[in-house]
Amino acid sequence: MQLHTLLANLEQPLLNIYGADELDQNSDISSLAYDSRKIAAGGLFIAVPGTHTDGRRFLGEAAQRGAIAALGETLQDSQDLPLPYIEVPDVRTALANLACTFYGYPAQRLCTIGVTGTDGKTTTSNLISTLFEASGAHTGLMTTANFKISGKEWENATRQSTLEALEIQQFLSRMLEAGVTHAVIEATSHGLELQRVHGCNFDVGVVTNITHEHLDFHKTIEAYRRAKARLFEMLDSSRDKGLGGRPIAILNRDDISYEILKPYCRVPILAYGQHPTAGVRAVDIQLQAHKTSFRVILPDTEYKIETPLIGQFNVSNCLAAIATAYSQGISIEEIARSLAAVKGVAGRMEYIDEGQPFAVIVDYAHTPDSLEKVLATLRPVTPGKLLVVFGSAGERDTQKRPIMGQIAAQKSDFFVITDEDPREEDREQILREIAAGAENAGKQQGSDFLCIADRTEAIASAFSHAKSGDTVLLAGKGHEQSIIIGREKLPWDDRQVAREQLKNRAR
């Protein structure tokens, strides 16, 4: 694609072009890259600022690798540039514009469904995909845990819940080529704030809930909520892709997010929940150890739902998926059949069974709200004691650490505080901050809980304290395949480590 075509589709005016005399805008651009190590000859380098570094520091490397030009925000020093530099006001919006143009605006030919919220996004996204596929649609999926294109599924090993705009548009293009009709995209607050999902032309916006998370990035809960609202601002009632659906916002009537997000919606709203005014409402809920049932009340009918997914929070996730599918014309009979046969998502309430006399469950719960909900779900189905191993990520929301310690103190019988992803923070200090919340709740380190930074040792210790009839919850890592210590991403899988430690106990 020629450079002038790419630049013509930017939403913002160019501020300047340094080295314009050397730049032929009729040049063919072979590829786009925001990582200078991935630049190929004839490529365009987009110099995006990151957490630890800034793409503008790597103009020389991009030039050496054959970049025709670079594009980014204002330079501190424009002297002696190694290649032509195109200056724009907002490089992240520009990256999304360039990606959309380069890959032919794939979202314009797909029904795109964005799922946001603090907890439950991945499960809800997978449920939506399952319901649409059961109705005959071909789906694509991008979530924290997994990717899927027309039935082919694989784990998300990137450690990014919402990919960068370049990868998203490339992925949507692959979906289109594979015959996908509906794309389900997990839209995190980072992804929304940093324009990663810009250009996805969402037809349906879904929210699970909004609680306490990511204040390290957003600074205030108000800014965090505002980022989530961007998804619903992107919905356009006049958008018609000719795919048969209709733009709609799916809001949680039971959650504070309903009133927060409602003013941002310019499309019809379909609310779900147990609230009496919800358009998709659950009644007669029966929570059991290995299944959940409820009656769903829809605007024009009602139906009995049974699913192997357990817990009150999964009732909410199911309702969000039901509302989404129902809004797009899928029958409640098809929805019910799919939910009855649905499988859980990897690392979400996943049972680990190596013949041990106590239950072991791996879950991604890494926020105060999600940890509290999972513990509340496990308590009534645990005849013995409830134990939990958990931590809190380094270089992330520090305010939640003592809150999580307090929740563990109040909702479990014994717990081990350990590493999640300490990154470049002092791992022992993270543990102390979590422990402070537990101690304020009246618990004593050494008798009521332990602090063990090494996660393998922490899991082994929890298992050594567990007896027949107990439940051990390994929280915070879920499906993840690595743990970040310093800047090093080390191989890690809670499920594998749990199995190894359980086998060691049996020897």
Alpha-carbon distance 421 to 346, whole Å? 19
Q: What is the pLDDT of residue 397?
A: 86
Reduced to 3 states, what is the DSSP secondary structure of residue 397?
A: coil
Q: What is the pLDDT of residue 216?
A: 58
Alpha-carbon distance 391 to 437, whole Å? 12
Element (H, E) at 303: strand 302-307
- Please choose, from the candidates 413, 396, 441, the residue with its C-alpha nearest in 3D space to the C-alpha of residue 159: 396
Is residue 124 marked as binding? no
- Please choose, from the candidates 498, 500, 480, the residue with its C-alpha nearest in 3D space to the C-alpha of residue 489: 480
Is residue 120 marked as binding? yes
Q: What is the pLDDT of residue 76?
A: 84
Tokens at 287, concatenated: 């929570």
Question: Which tens digit of pLDDT belongs to each residue from 367-401?
Answer: 998 999 999 999 998 999 999 999 999 998 899 99
* Side chain identity at residue 234, one-letter code: M
Model confidence at 458: pLDDT above 70:
yes
- Name the percent of the chain lying above pLDDT 90: 87
Is residue 188 marked as binding? yes
Alpha-carbon distance 355 to 358, whole Å? 9
Alpha-carbon distance 360 to 390, whole Å? 14
Alpha-carbon distance 44 to 29, whole Å? 6
Question: Which tens digit of pLDDT belongs to each residue from 414-434?
Answer: 999 999 999 999 999 999 999
Q: What is the pLDDT of residue 217?
A: 65
Alpha-carbon distance 447 to 434, whole Å? 16
Q: What is the pLDDT of residue 361?
A: 95
Residue 73's alpha-carbon distances to 87, 91, 230, in angstroms, are: 5, 6, 23
Is residue 208 marked as binding? no
DSSP annotation of 54 reads B
Is residue 476 marked as binding? no
Model confidence at 262: pLDDT above 80:
yes
- Residue 195 phi, psi (nearest 5): 65, 20
Is residue 196 marked as binding? yes
* Side chain identity at residue 495, one-letter code: R
**Secondary-structure breakdown of the chain: helix, strand, coil percentages, each rounded to the nearest 5:** 35, 20, 40
- Please choose, from the candidates 354, 319, 355, the residue with its C-alpha nearest in 3D space to the C-alpha of residue 339: 319
Q: What is the pLDDT of residue 403?
A: 97
Is residue 118 marked as binding? yes
Q: What is the pLDDT of residue 218?
A: 58
Q: What is the pLDDT of residue 160?
A: 86
Is residue 405 marked as binding? no
Is residue 307 marked as binding? no
Partners of 28 in the beta sheet? 2
Question: Which tens digit of pLDDT belongs to each residue from 309-361?
Answer: 999 999 999 999 999 999 999 999 999 999 999 988 889 999 999 999 999 99
Helices (H) and strands (E) in the chain, counts: 16, 24
Model confidence at 36: pLDDT above 90:
yes
- Please choose, from the candidates 278, 275, 331, the residue with its C-alpha nearest in 3D space to the C-alpha of residue 303: 331
Largest CA distance in the chain: 76
Is residue 338 marked as binding? no
Q: CA 193: distance to chain centroid?
A: 14
Q: What is the pLDDT of residue 215?
A: 62
Domains annotated on the chain, with CATH: 3-102 (3.40.1390.10), 106-341 (3.40.1190.10), 350-506 (3.90.190.20)
